[in-house]
Chain A
Amino acid sequence: MSYLNLAADDYAPAVLNNTPAFAELLAISAEFDLDVSSPPGCVARNLVVRGLRFNLLDWAGPDGADKRPVLFMVHGGAVTAHTWDLVALQLARRYRVIAPDIRSHGDSEWARDGDYDHHEMMEDLAAIINELHLPPVVAIGHSMGGALVERLALAHPQLLRAIAIVDFTPEANYPGLPIDVIRLFDSVEHYAERASKYGARKPSELIYAARHELLARLDGKLMPKHDPRHGMGGPGPGYYPGTPDFEQMKAVTLPAAVVWGRESFFVTDEKSQRLAEVMPRGEAHCIEDAGHQLFLEQPQAFITVIEDFVSRL
């Protein structure tokens, strides 16, 4: 097996609920005292837009005709749509949660031409929302996904009901990954151990994440499941021209939640507050005892913020 998690092979969605990984997700949820009764359904499906194949996780209702508000959850750099699983399992009890793998990440196609311009990646998200004929969505973006959601809010506000920017601000403290450097790991544990340095996460959750964030190569090594030609990018204009600054974010008139971790290495309290203030309908939510991966460190606190925010729309 080259991939360590299940995804759709062709046109038919892959049902994830009965997989060993899903059982593991329930066990991790129990460790956090989250609700594990009657878990909502989750499928992985392929979509082709803009000449690329995208994998998306669709926590749709059981009858497939899900009319509930849509949370469109965009993961950050170097991780995958499954990074949301822990909180998606709970949020999907009230909302339809859709989490795509952005281009070159997770189980989505790598751009053959190595085009990782953030403008193009934002347009991918707009195309996915259009292709699914979704009503205006609540777009939630973490880290680099937050950068994409900021662009989306400026370019295509009509596709959105509201936005939530999670641990990202203009001028974030992040240098990006070096482009074209291949990082290899001997084992899932090796990768999880390295990831553990970036936040107070549970060992079981780190292993779960690692299995979704790695692929096995023919040479037996494990490699992060994203195109190494993609630098992920610090927000500097040198990497990704057109990254919105504070001034530009004033034009976002949608309801907007800025959510961050008090201990984050990525953003500061000051800049997070400022982002919430420049947006006319912005509101600030700081999560205590959490870093950059706040929704994996304090999932219940994050769920509470999102549910409260969406309930007031």
Chain B
Amino acid sequence: MYLTEFAQGLEPLDISHNQFVEEALLTARDLGGTVPQPLQCRSRNLLINGLRLHVLDWGQESNPVLVLLHGGVVTSRTWGPFCALLADRYRLIAMDMRGHGDSEWPRDGDSNHNAMADDLAKLITTMELENPIVVGHSVGGLLLMRVMLKSPQLLGSAVLVDVGPKTAYAGWKPRSEVTEAGRLYDEIEAYVQRNAPRLKRSEEHMRRNAHHEFMRRMNGKYQLKYDPRHPMGGPDERTMPGLPTLEQMADYRGRCLLVRGENSWFLDADDAVEFAQRLPQGELVTVPDCEHMVYVENPVGLAREIDRYVSSLDFVRGAAA
């Protein structure tokens, strides 16, 4: 049983007036943002690589496109407050990675990063997006780096959020079987109480979002909406063969914005500086008052930086003029 509404068929579902959008707006305002209204948001299913992949599609189709890739364990919904801040000026397409959120879990458990990067490339071609600015956080950034190397022509520009070829995170070992569900909760509130302090979030914001990141099993227990077989970050040669290196990334000729959370434990400050310097057209900004979950802890700061960066891109300025 799912606790949040998503498209049931291939027709888009308008969720602009859904509780999820309302709550994203409230959280964005609480964190100091100005949210223009009305907000537009659609839930859509796509068929890619033999899987049903789900996206949230915010804003008008004629606006410049941002494609958003979340990190491990979280979902397209985690970008909610960030999207609410920018949905008047951009079309924001937040993808649920395979095995996450409201996307299909690969039956064979294949979460090889090459296959997942191909999901992203095919999302761009299937939706016929021109010059999309792709924003990847954490694991989503690792996938984006692969596309930057393999299919740079698909990208208008790349924004990597708190991730790079070298990270300070060991990842965790995935479960072997789909039946090993990991931690189950009797009440979502127990998850909120446990994790809000650890993630330095207000319980209220955590509670709002958690509702969209859980599903309910037939035995009444709540389970986070990700495949327990899915590996989460950290170099793992089995599922992430050929993690892009600093040397390889130096071949990416397009413009690239690297964003680091000021207090990140995931991406060291020195590594971020070195990475931005090695990118031919790299640019580094730091978003204050946050650790790794930049778009959750300081969506206003991140939205400001990305808005500024995108406005400086030639093809976006040209389109606006």
Is A229 a contact of B108 with CB atoms below 8 Å?
no
B129 at the interface (CB under 8 A from A): no
User: B39-56 interface mask toward A, CB cutoff 8 Å, 1 = contact, 0 = none?
Assistant: 000000101111110000
**A residues in contact with B50, CB < 8 Å:** 3, 7-10, 107
Chain B 200-248 interface residues, beta-carbon cutoff 8 Å to A: 215-218, 223, 225, 227, 238-239
B47 x A117 contact (CB < 8 A): no
Complex contact A3–B7 (CB within 8 A): no
Asked if B183 is at the interface of the complex by the 8 Å CB criterion, the answer is no
In the complex, what's the smallest C-beta–C-beta distance from A231 to chain B, in angstroms? 11
A210-218, A258-266, A279-287, A300-308: which lies at the interface: A210-218
Contact bitstring A191-235, B, C-beta under 8 A = 1, else 0: 000000000000000000000000111100000010111000000
**A133 surroundings in chain B (CB, below 8 A):** none
Asked whether B162 is an interface residue with its Cβ less than 8 Å from the other chain, the reply is no
Structural contact, B8 and A228, CB atoms closer than 8 A: no
A110 interfacial contact with B, CB 8 Å? yes
Is A48 part of the binding interface, using a Cβ–Cβ cutoff of 8 Å?
yes
Cβ contact within 8 Å between B126 and A113: no
Minimum CB–CB distance for A238 against chain B, Å: 13
Contact indicator A2/B178 (Cβ below 8 Å): no
> Known contacts A113-B216, A218-B110; is A48 also within 8 Å of B9 by CB?
yes
Give the distance in Å from the alpha carbon of A66 to the alpha carbon of B178 in the complex. Answer: 40
Q: Say yes or no: is A115 at the interface (Cβ < 8 Å to chain B).
A: yes
- The answer for the CA separation of A274 and B192 in the assembled complex, in Å, is 55
Taking residues whose C-beta sits less than 8 angstroms from the other chain, chain B's interface range is 35 or more
In the complex, whether B198 has a CB less than 8 A from a CB of chain A is no
Inter-chain CA distance A216–B71, complex, in Å, is 27
Binary CB contact string for chain A from 165 to 195 against chain B (1 if under 8 A, 0 otherwise):
0000000000000001010000000000000
Given A2, A48, A53, A114, which contacts B218 in the complex, CB threshold below 8 Å?
Answer: A114
Asked if A112 is an interface residue, CB under 8 A from chain B, the answer is yes
Q: Contact: A114 with B217, CB < 8 Å?
A: yes
C-alpha spacing A229/B47, complex, angstroms: 24
A215 to B215, Cβ gap below 8 A?
Answer: no
Question: With a CB–CB cut-off of 8 A, which chain A residues contact B104?
Answer: 53, 109-110, 112
> Bound complex: CA of A50 vs CA of B5, how far in Å?
11
Whether A48 lies near B10 (C-beta < 8 A) is: yes
Q: Does B90 count as interface, using CB distance less than 8 angstroms?
A: no
A49 close to chain B: CB less than 8 A: yes
B109 interface residue, CB < 8 Å from A?
A: yes
Looking at the complex, which one of A48, A227, A229 makes contact with B52 (CB distance below 8 Å)?
A48
In this assembly, does A15 line the interface, its C-beta being within 8 Å of a C-beta of chain B?
Answer: no
Instruction: Say if the beta carbon of A29 comes within 8 Å of chain B.
Output: no
Q: Which of B50, B217, B227 gathers most chain A CB within 10 Å? A: B50
Contacts beyond the supplied A9-B48, A51-B102: 7 A-B pairs with Cβ under 8 Å: A10-B50, A46-B47, A110-B105, A112-B227, A215-B108, A228-B178, A228-B179
Q: List 8 A-B contacts (CB under 8 A).
A: A7-B50, A9-B48, A9-B49, A10-B48, A11-B47, A112-B104, A112-B105, A217-B108
The 10 closest A-B pairs by CB, nearest first: A53-B52, A2-B108, A180-B179, A10-B47, A113-B215, A51-B8, A215-B108, A109-B104, A9-B50, A48-B10
